[in-house]
Structure 1
């Protein structure tokens, strides 16, 4: 991930609603959520949510698919992987064994 993309992702996540929406979508995994379901869960108006989802989409943190007239949103795990990779790119001064506990924590020990 390029520095510009990382800054865009951090800017998108620096707003409380967007951060909570992103975290919610992460919990939903491959099922994602319809925009209306997200709005209901976050207790926000559709137009407010739409603007915030657009920011997350352009930052590469969410993706969407159209289902008829509805849009389903998902956390973009590739975007998240890129952001984490950017942060850990030079981790531990070239000594990967020092980073291993952190990496295991981030990947849930898998």
Structure 2
């Protein structure tokens, strides 16, 4: 993924309703959903939802499949993973072991310059 593609994807997610739509489609997995079901579940007017779906689709984060008279939307998991990979590329100088999340109950030991986590 290049920077322009990442900016487009992140920009499309930088709005509360679009983020909610994307999260809902991620939750639903490969099954996806029809716009009417999304509108009802998220309480978004159909015309507004249509705009959000278009924006997410243009960013490549969701895909649409025509099924007769209806369109089913699904999260594009490959694009989502590519965005995550782009954001975490070279994390911690390339040492992935240093990038692991710390358990919430870990305590910081010592001062800021020598801080380390203890679990």
TM-score, normalising length: structure 2: 0.80
Paired residues, what number?
A: 101
* Partner Cα separation in structure 1 for residue 60 and residue 42 of structure 2: 21
Instruction: Work out whether 1:3 is the aligned partner of 2:7.
Output: no
Alignment of 1:91-102 (within 5 A): 91-99=91-99, 101-102=100-101
What is residue 80 of structure 2 aligned with on the other side?
80
Instruction: Work out whether 1:45 is the aligned partner of 2:36.
Output: no
User: Where does structure 1 lack aligned partners over 5 or more consecutive residues?
Assistant: 103-110
What is residue 104 of structure 2 aligned with on the other side?
none
* Partner Cα separation in structure 2 for residue 96 and residue 48 of structure 1: 40
What is residue 113 of structure 2 aligned with on the other side?
none
What is the root-mean-square deviation in Å for CA atoms of aligned residues? Answer: 1.1
The answer to which structure, 1 or 2, has the higher relative contact order (CA under 8 A, 6+ apart) is 1
User: Where does structure 2 lack aligned partners over 5 or more consecutive residues?
Assistant: 102-119
* Partner Cα separation in structure 2 for residue 59 and residue 70 of structure 1: 21
> Alpha-carbon deviation of 1:40?
1.1
What is residue 107 of structure 1 aligned with on the other side?
none
Which stretches of structure 1, 4 residues or more, deviate above 4 A after TM superposition?
none
* Partner Cα separation in structure 2 for residue 13 and residue 94 of structure 1: 27
* Partner Cα separation in structure 1 for residue 40 and residue 68 of structure 2: 19
